[in-house]
A and B are shown apart, each in its own frame.
Chain A
């Protein structure tokens, strides 16, 4: 099934148009200015539609005809959905004037049209010959209206909301924010019945409309590092959407832009890791000299973290090796820098850039919001990071004190 926009030789389809609008001069009024669309199944022309757009963001389906033998196969509906998608950008509402024939009215109403008014005896007054359908004379013209804003595909809305939620969750937002954002977006685009279940690493969503369309989706969101800029931007986007300042197309584009925002420059991250390490190390009792050493430890450590992140190494490897790195650097500084320092202070300062602050704070916030499951998962995530670091540190310290330290003592003894 495909739909084509027909620009040339519109009069070739006159026979078909005459089926639903039996007077030629009435068709000529809109045929030149209107857009014509044809729906083909294979090579067979199934449905033809002509739409005119008027100035004040309104459009009207002037003619909609389905070829003989193709009725009741859903082609008319497909065409109406296509038209409402297509004109959603340009227009706020779509009108259609049709005769008072129950079958046509039923199809339009099923597609979301609502009856606005009737022109009594329109077909009697304006058409030279009386029109008969099923042996009944058609007299009144029924005007139906559909607000195009409401014609948003439930799947697209839910997919978009889910995407926004996924990006929020991935970049370190709290569970309740993810939940609220999804609900708000769905509500704005008229998907009223939405159930969401958000976990720290998955989103389940189930949406329903008019009791007949049900759509559900599950998305796995692996735990990853935080990027609060993206959280802030998605939050702004959600505000704009809720305020009605954006339609779905713009919102999807904007979300796409946000997701591909450039990351921070590497040197900035490395230097701030160093500054963070030394500042918090000093706060936790490291001496001034130890903090200065911790600055370098933090920088080198973060180079490793960035390198490991680029090669998608597992968290266990990153943190254990990070611990080893911190300890060996601290030991080296202890041995080679001729100022009395404690290894311990440097290690504490050095691990600060690895401390899972986002996971920890979010775990606490989730528990505070009674999202115990996600809170626990995040808390365990945070605690395990410490265990990995400590494993690395213990390993390196053990090696140092048992072998290298021993050798060092022997050497100094010998000398």
Chain B
């Protein structure tokens, strides 16, 4: 259990914050970046067993973008601040690397497999981002829900 927490909570959090520092995200966003990265990864973990890696990345990136959009409206900053570090754990870096490596050493079939997996995962991320981005901006502001309540 402790191992699981270290691997799946502390690692993505630390990693996301580390990359937030590398991309020079302003200091006040470090905590939110860490939380977003962790949540995205946890959703990925939960979804990857019952579904597939690509579906899991879809759900994970959807979560990341939704939280990022809420925070963007709250903190008045570009969504990129949260999105780039938050999606980082989901990027199929390993698969793309394997694809490129297999290509370099001449294992074309293996390269095709990992490349195809990478494309599927990337497409999952694309779908996640697109579906979350197409929700109109007002929904993420607090006023929208307050108004709805008062209307009722």
A361 CA to B78 CA, complexed, in Å: 14
| B137: min CB distance to chain A, Å | 12
- Quote the shortest CB–CB distance from A384 to chain B (angstroms): 9
Question: What's the minimum C-beta distance from A242 to chain B, rounded to whole angstroms?
Answer: 13
Contact A177 B11 (CB under 8 A): no
Residues of A within 8 A of B26 (CB): 228-229, 232
Tell whether, in the assembled complex, residue B21 and residue A268 are in contact, meaning their CB atoms are under 8 Å apart.
yes
**In whole Å, how far is B69's beta carbon from the nearest beta carbon of chain A?**
13
Partner of B76, one of A228, A230, A239: A239
- Tell me the minimal C-beta distance from A321 to chain B in angstroms: 15
**Contact in complex: B41, A389 (CB < 8 Å):** no
B1-58 with Cβ < 8 A to chain A: 7-8, 10-12, 14-15, 17-19, 21-26, 41
Would you give the 0/1 interface string for A208-227, flagging 1 where the beta carbon is closer than 8 Å to chain B? Answer: 00000000000000000011
B80 touches A (CB below 8 Å): yes
- Contact call A273/B18, Cβ cutoff below 8 A: yes
The answer to whether A275 has its CB under 8 Å from any CB of chain B is yes
Chain B residue at minimum C-beta to C-beta distance from A225 = B23
Task: Let me know if B101 and A276 touch, CB within 8 A.
Answer: no
Q: B112-152 interface mask toward A, CB cutoff 8 Å, 1 = contact, 0 = none?
A: 00000000001001100110010000000000000000000
| Cβ-defined contact, A368 with B129, below 8 A | yes
CA distance A394 to B18 in the complex (A): 27
For residue A182, give the distance in angstroms from its CB to the closest CB of chain B. 15
Assuming A172-B23, A228-B24, A394-B104, is B15 touching A357 (CB within 8 A)? no
CA of A358 to CA of B94 in the docked complex: distance in angstroms?
16
A139: CB under 8 A from chain B?
A: no
Known A235-B77, A279-B12, A280-B15; contact A387-B23, beta-carbon cutoff 8 A:
no
Bin the interface of chain A by size: 35 or more
Our pick among A264, A364, A367 for the contact of B24 (Cβ within 8 Å) is A264
A360's contact among B12, B18, B91, B103, by CB below 8 Å, is which? B91
Please pick, from A229, A282, A391, the residue contacting B7 in the complex, using a CB distance under 8 A: A282
B122 contacts across to A, CB distance below 8 A: 360, 364
Give the chain A neighbours of B41 by CB distance below 8 A.
Answer: 283
Asked whether A383 and B96 contact (CB < 8 A) given A173-B80, A368-B130, the answer is yes
The answer to whether A357 and B84 have CB atoms under 8 Å apart is yes
Query: Does A400 belong to the interface (CB within 8 Å)?
Result: no
Q: Are A232 and B81 in contact (CB under 8 A)?
A: yes
* Binary interface encoding of chain A residues 371-407 relative to chain B, with 1 for a CB under 8 A from any of its CBs, else 0: 0000000000001001101110110011000000000
Cα A360 to Cα B123 with chains together (Å): 12
> Known contacts A174-B80, A226-B84, A235-B78: does B24 contact A283 (CB below 8 Å)?
no
Q: Which residues of B lie under 8 Å from residue A273 when comparing CB positions?
A: 18, 22
Taking the nearest CB of chain A, how far is it from the CB of B32, in angstroms?
13
Identify which of A228, A357, A390 gathers the most chain B CB atoms within 10 Å of its CB: A228
What's the Cα separation between A394 and B117 when bound, in Å? 21
A389: B residues at CB distance < 8 A? 97, 100
Contact B94 A284 (CB under 8 A): yes
Extra contacts, 7 of them, besides A272-B22, A386-B99 (Cβ < 8 A), are A177-B80, A273-B18, A353-B22, A365-B83, A386-B93, A386-B96, A389-B100
Sample of 24 A–B contacts (CB below 8 Å): A228-B23, A232-B78, A236-B77, A264-B21, A269-B22, A272-B17, A272-B22, A276-B14, A276-B19, A279-B14, A279-B15, A282-B11, A283-B8, A283-B89, A284-B93, A357-B23, A357-B84, A361-B88, A362-B84, A387-B103, A389-B100, A390-B97, A393-B104, A398-B105
Rank and list the top 5 A-B pairs by shortest CB-CB distance, nearest first.
A279-B15, A390-B100, A276-B18, A394-B104, A272-B21
